[in-house]
Structure 1
Amino acid sequence: MGNKSLPAWLLAEEYSPVRPGGRKRRPGFAEKTLRDLAHLGQEVLFSEELAGRRGWLQDLDPRCKLLSLLWLMVVAGLARHPLTLIVIYLGVILLAVQSRVPAGPFLKRVWLFVPLFTGIMVLPSLFNWVHQGDPLVVLFRLPAPLRLGPWQVPALLAITRQGLAGAGMLILRVGVAVSLGLLVTLTTRWAVLLRALRVLRVPRIFILTLTLTYRYIFLLLKLTEEMFVARQSRLVGRMDRRMNYRFLAGSMGNLLARAYFLSEEVYQAMLARGFKGEVQMKEDWRLTLPDYRRAAGIILAGIILLGGDHYLGW
């Protein structure tokens, strides 16, 4: 029979499902969910692989790393001059390069998030209606002030120099703080980072809860992926929106029930192994001379930056 008996769409080198009108079928929520779950798994694997590399921060004791970078966050919060924040951020970039953190993903994770959310919060403070100051850009003028009930709207709407400077400082502070936090999580394995929180006197039961959550959330994500794959493998044709909603509601209930029974099984297994409410964590870290030197260097740099910021003033 040969290829003459096969339909034309099976012989095509690239196949994309089309709708009756000739348009490509858009991926449904199931395909988007599976894609997002796969992307989340890739992000976790990337972070774990990056934390296992040899680098400046990876070789530093987790407790020293946590305290040192927290100290830099405090310095960024106390800074009053933008030059101080810029110098801190350049130091963060240098630490990322020395720790073999890819610059592209690192910058995207910070500066795709900070301007969006922080910029929305500080947007009203740019205008003289909220923050009085020297006008830089006049947006419009009214013949006279407008009164709306108990409120009076000024006749001039402009972006002020003080408002723009304050918004820029806040965005810089948030960008530096997010970069430092991201640097800690990218260069430290999650389990090790949770153990390092003990240096901040975080309760052991809280650390245990976070550890179990991080451990079993991926199991629940795997169950979710299997549910969606099973549905997709049995799906023929298009499903209306109502059926999709029913499947989503049923999947959420099923996943909640599984999570509840899993938590009970984990707790019973812990009791069977001698758990009595007190978490015993093995802490065998030993500080070395390079750890002291690197931590002291970061802390000394923060002190110098604070002194320089006080000298520059605002």
Structure 2
Amino acid sequence: MRVENLPPWLWQNNYPPLRAGGRKRQPGFGEKTLQDLAHFGQEVLFAEELAGRRGLLQGVEPRLKLLGLLWLAVVAGLARHPLTLVVMYGGIILLAYFSRIPLGPYLKRVWLIVPLFTGIMVFPTLFNWVRPGEPLVVLLNLKGPVHLGPWQLPALLAITRQGLAGAGLLVIRVGVTVSLAFLVTMTTRWAALLRALRVLRVPRIFVLIFSMTYRYIFLLLKTTEEMFTARQSRLVGRSSLKMNRHFLAGAMGNLLIRAYVLSEEVYQAMVARGYRGEGRCLEDYSLAPRDYWRFAGFIMAGLILLGGDYYLGH
């Protein structure tokens, strides 16, 4: 094809020259979505790789491991002294270390969640207006009480010692519990964890939903990635917010329809192959003497912590 037959905008160079000091183009929502999807897939693969390592907790039978760490979570909920929780958290860090879990990402994952949610909930209890106590830091000192309708607020607004101690205790307790939950999920394969949930008499329908969600969410994520990739490959320049909203709404509806059709097809295929409501695991887990000893170690550690907490409380 001759150049004269091409559109002028394709062969004429009318673009201004690029400057080295120009502003860097910020990625749009499509690029950010693709990056988030790729990051999620990397995290899942990393979790599966951690569960397959030869570590301390990876070698424990999944059912006994789940029961043992659940018992430690109950102990954390019953503890009333901060020192008990600090010692317990130190033991959790040692378990993570001997289970060959990278401590940096592990601590980051836990303590990015705990302050965000728990800190917001306990923040009002720091002040004497919510929980009266001994003032530590005075923030506001008015001439008299403040009346807000049926409520009467004291003239002094301060952070109390009792409020700070209670909030700190709750944050540490939640941090210990979340750390134990991450230990279970990061050292146990998903299929084995679902089978272990049946030991706790979790209804089969919930186990089935968890299993199907984990198995087919990757297919839906792949579909979403292909939709965004196809759109990005057909875009010229930046899209407006209105276009992004229209595309996002259409993509959500399309993905919902595909998920519904896929669920029906998968269920019919499972029934045709003999599914009767109980999930199956290809690995056959058997209890060894060392599993009982490790489970006994969890029980003894919890009892020692409860005894030490009772002694510190008196």
**Deviations, residues 147-184 of structure 1 (Å, cap 9, x unaligned):** 22222121100100000000000001000000000011
Q: Does 1:123 align with 2:123?
A: yes
Tell me what 1:47 maps to.
47
**Deviations, residues 274-303 of structure 1 (Å, cap 9, x unaligned):** 23x432535732111111111111110100
Tell me what 2:263 maps to.
263
**Deviations, residues 94-116 of structure 1 (Å, cap 9, x unaligned):** 00001000010000001111112
- Any stretches of 5+ residues in structure 2 without a counterpart? 1-12
Distance 2:254 2:94 in 1: 47
SS class of match (1:261): helix
Q: Does 1:71 align with 2:64?
A: no
Q: Does 1:138 align with 2:115?
A: no
Q: Which amino acid is the alignment partner of residue 183 of structure 1?
A: L
Q: Does 1:278 align with 2:277?
A: yes
Written as runs of structure 1 = structure 2, the 5 A alignment for 1:1-314 is 22-275=22-275, 277-279=276-278, 281=280, 284-313=284-313
Runs of 4+ aligned residues of structure 1 deviating over 6 Å after TM superposition are none
SS class of match (2:157): strand
SS class of match (2:137): strand
Distance 1:203 1:145 in 2: 54
Distance 2:239 2:279 in 1: 51
Q: Which amino acid is the alignment partner of residue 169 of structure 2?
A: M
Distance 2:270 2:308 in 1: 53
**Deviations, residues 246-284 of structure 1 (Å, cap 9, x unaligned):** 111111111111111111111121122123x43253573
Distance 1:117 1:217 in 2: 26
Q: What TM-score comes out, normalization by structure 1 length?
A: 0.91
2:208–2:279: 8 Å Cα contact kept in structure 1?
no
Q: Which amino acid is the alignment partner of residue 129 of structure 1?
A: W
Distance 1:188 1:122 in 2: 32
SS class of match (2:253): helix
Distance 2:124 2:24 in 1: 42
Q: What TM-score comes out, normalization by structure 2 length?
A: 0.91
Distance 2:184 2:259 in 1: 30
The 10-residue stretch of structure 1 (180-189 or 264-273) with the greater mean CA deviation from structure 2: 264-273
How many Å apart are 1:24 and its aligned residue? Answer: 2.0
The 10-residue stretch of structure 1 (241-250 or 43-52) with the greater mean CA deviation from structure 2: 241-250
**Deviations, residues 8-67 of structure 1 (Å, cap 9, x unaligned):** x9xx9xx99x9xxx3222111101100000000010010000000000000000011100
**Deviations, residues 52-93 of structure 1 (Å, cap 9, x unaligned):** 000000000001110010000000000010011001100100
Distance 1:258 1:127 in 2: 50
Identity between Structure 1 and Structure 2 (%): 72
Give RMSD over aligned pairs.
2.1
**Deviations, residues 96-138 of structure 1 (Å, cap 9, x unaligned):** 0010000100000011111121111101000000001000111
Q: How many residues align?
A: 300
How many Å apart are 1:243 and its aligned residue? Answer: 1.3
How many Å apart are 1:216 and its aligned residue? Answer: 0.3
Do the aligned partners of residues 33 and 280 (structure 1) sit closer, same or farther apart at CA in structure 2, a change above 3 Å counting? Answer: closer
Distance 2:263 2:160 in 1: 55
Distance 2:242 2:116 in 1: 34
Distance 1:114 1:127 in 2: 20
Do the aligned partners of residues 153 and 280 (structure 1) sit closer, same or farther apart at CA in structure 2, a change above 3 Å counting? Answer: closer
Distance 1:278 1:119 in 2: 41
